Amino acid sequence: MVTGRLTVDTGWGRRVRPLGPFSVEVAAPAGTVFDVIAAPYLGRTPQAMAGKLRVIERGEGAVLAEHYTPVHGGRLTATTLETVTFDRPHRVCFRLVRGPVPHVAEEFTLTERGGVTTLAYSGELGTDFGIAGQWWGSQVAKAWEAAVRASFANIRAEAERRARPSAASH
């Protein structure tokens, strides 16, 4: 279950908890931020992301992708299979198909004001088996939110790099 190769989804004693919300301010237009998020999914996945992401199927405005996240100090790798849908430049939604818990739905929303974009995250994570599942869900949520925060830091850095005037002229 830790690695996401086995998903137990009985629906019995389902408990749902929030993920986030949190946000970051990005000194770049929403279209630029959206492009940074969507590029590895909708275009060619960069070699630098090969150990983190594999797009299995691309469709019109949606993909099926595996995400790889180190857990337990890097001794194990959690693999999630998710659908990712795109509503340019406002929203990117993720829905878990297979992973360490039976239910995750998340979204990144982008709101631009004066050339600065607020990139916000919210979602929910569901587990089965009552209190035992709730404990497991809190463990998974910590790692999940940490991965999203790290992703936001990378998105912010790349979008701001692209938005700099010197980056536009190259």
Domain with residue 124: its CATH number is 3.30.530.20
Q: Distance (Å, rounded) from C-alpha 61 to C-alpha 169?
A: 29
pTM over 0.95: no
Helix (H) or strand (E) holding 154: helix 130-163
Instruction: Please report whether residue 37 resides in a domain.
Output: yes
Number of domains in the chain: 1
Residue 6 located in a structural domain: no
Distances (CA, A) of 150 to 88, 95, 132, 143, 157: 22, 19, 28, 11, 11
What's the confidence (pLDDT) of residue 169? 52
So what's the pLDDT on residue 152?
98
Between 166 and 81, where is the model more confident? 81
pLDDT tier for residue 167 given thresholds of 50, 70 and 90 = low
Q: What percent of the chain has pLDDT over 70?
A: 94
- The average pLDDT across 64-77 equals 84
For residue 85, being part of any structural domain is answered with yes
Task: Give the separation between CA 109 and CA 18, rounded to whole angstroms.
Answer: 16
pLDDT at 150 over 80: yes
Residue 170 lies in a domain: no
Tokens of 123: 């979602």
Q: Is 39 contained in some domain?
A: yes
Residue 33 and residue 11: Cα distance in Å, rounded?
A: 36
User: Would you say residue 7 lies in a domain?
Assistant: no
d(CA 27, CA 23): 13
Distance CA 131, CA 93 (A): 28
- The pLDDT score that the predictor gives to residue 168 is 53
Q: Is residue 114 part of a domain?
A: yes
Give residue 80's pLDDT: 93
- 158 falls within a domain: yes
Q: Who's near 31: CB < 8 A, 6+ residues apart? A: 88, 89
Element (H, E) at 23: strand 15-26
Range of the domain at 141: 17-163
